[in-house]
A and B are shown apart, each in its own frame.
Chain A
Amino acid sequence: MNAIDRRRFLKALSSLGAAAGASLLTLPEARAAAPKARVVVVGGGFGGATAAKYLRLLDPGIDVTLIERGTLYTSCPLSNEVVSGERHIKTLQTGYRGLAARGVKVVHAEVTAIDPAGKTVATAEDGSFPYDALIVSPGVDFDYAAVEGLTQELSETAIPHAWKAGPQTLLLKKQLEAMPDGGRFVIAVPKGPFRCPPGPYERAAQVAMHCMHHGKKKAKILILDANESFSKKPLFEEAWKALYGYGPTGMIEWVSASAGGLVERIDAGSLTAHTTFDDVKADVLNVIPPHRAGKIARDAGLATLKGNWCEVKPENMESKAHKDIYVIGDACVGGETSTGNGFPKSAHMANSQAKVVAASLAAKLNGLPAPVPIYTNTCYSVVGHDWGFSVVHLFRVQNGQWVYIKEGSGISPVALGTKQAPKPVPRIYRKMEAEYADGWLRNLLADAFA
């Protein structure tokens, strides 16, 4: 009997009890007085919010505390549309009232330390929180020092990465608006893994769309990439070519690492990116620094993979380093990494991982058998007014290992027909997925925060 069955049982019991004259109305109060377990969630992004919500949904007898420093969350997915002016940032924002209404104790504080042995979480403002189980969903930190000349302060004032949606997204938007026709917008992509694998390439398209619609047809968007390939590549290249022009003579140009795309150093004063081969002067310089797991996870010894990423167990996302600590979202590493099919660092993936943890914990705390986990991801990119596409992932767990299920994964069709006689994908397919993107984001935000 899993948690949901147990609730159904309680519901059935309560109707029987009423007939028998017993009062079961006191049951929730009795449980509130003595919670069966205390679960603390660190980080209120898509992963942490979903985990807190689903724990309460699956078993209201569990005491759930979510610790998050911010009071307003801005979705990274679709935030490139804010940069281009296609979308207002408010459509991507949510507070934490929805979680509070579900009985999650929301604490706005900065977590300063995790003590895995003493099973407590310390905060700067609100003392410490004991836990029976801890879910860590801190997202990523940016390694500014990896790019010579870049600092956190420069990112906040002059060279935004805008890779955590919020003030920097708006700063980058302002810089784009001020860019003259013929200006050069440079996006420096870090070596993977990074958050939102298709994000930099979607950004290039959104910036190009802005330029097309604002009389800047001579603008250049240059992607300097520390990698040799990228997510949804054939789909992006088709769209770039059709909508904006692609290549040395087009509006968008992509430079791979081996062609000199790796940005090693920048000069903030002259907005110059120094690559292995060249010095590139920019009008807008958008440097996305390399990532690693959030500091709080690294400090707690959870980042077991090269000190950068947190390894977890396939069956329930429990840390390989510490018992009763679960790491989800962009900070963790998982999936079928041996074949290059690791978990993408995406909001939907974090949402899915959070549900696995919630189901596993709800079962464990009720003495029920562990549920069979399943991990899914859906991610849309919007590259023009009526041009979008997606990637989906499905992972199952077999013999204690993640298995990438090819049949349930993949990008939108690149061509129809057969390999010998391919036919172009009808334009209406791209239009449909551009429309789906908005519905997906609204549901994903609600599934995590409402």
Chain B
Amino acid sequence: MSLLEIQNLVVEFQTASGPFRAVDGVSLKVDEGEVLAIVGESGSGKSVSMLAAMGLLPWTAKVTADKLLFNGRDLQAMSDRDRRKIIGKEISMIFQEPVASLNPCFTVGYQIEEVLRVHTDLDRKARWDRAIELFQLVGIPNPEERLGHYPHQMSGGQCQRVMIATALACNPKLLIADEPTTALDVTIQKQILDLLMKLQAEHGMGLIMITHDMGVVAETADRVIVQYKGRKIEEADVLSLFESPKSVYTKALLSALPENAVGGRLPTITEKLTDQQIFEGAVR
């Protein structure tokens, strides 16, 4: 049984000029202990599909799916109350802007404790100990002192570590990381990715890595889904994707990497490809 199974997910937003389809029939599966990367350019619906699965989209969004199962339980049929028991506990999420996704009015310690207060029966003392343990886990020095700090007193990399600590507070089965390193420097990016991969392996979590960066995909994923304008274009294990991409779009994307053309001009095939060609060249 897969940890998360999504079949034919469609997300529509009502706009002034009629409904806009942000996700158009995406299906995916993640197993325990597996790292799935969803890669695509902006507007490819990669974040929206995950937010939809977690039920975090505003009411203006219309979400439909043939199947939306987490650990065998149907997320669509569930009441909001029941779903909230799973979200944040068994599925948790890390967002792109670490500084913006923490509440500036509370200390980081309070924010970690809050997750534990909602989802566990631990008493105050046990929650505090767990928070210290989590800070040690994600590599923040002097946890006792740092727990009393506000987000603005920490650097971007440290804030992202706090976010990871909060996400891991209840030992989730599935972690969704939405562009976790996009706002960070390369050296910090390396540290955070290494940390995520280490924790993923230790806890045997399923990890969904949403990114636009082929480098991050190459460094982390087992399996990759390439999305374009809300549709799945290609799905493959990471090695075959980079070694022998099947769809026209993936080929074009990989050829646009600056690494693949030192000096001279970069091929810009995607510029000439029409949506029609991209969708027809999809390999699912």
- Our verdict on whether A and B bind, yes or no, reads no
Which residues of B are at the interface with A, using a C-beta cutoff of 8 A? Answer: none
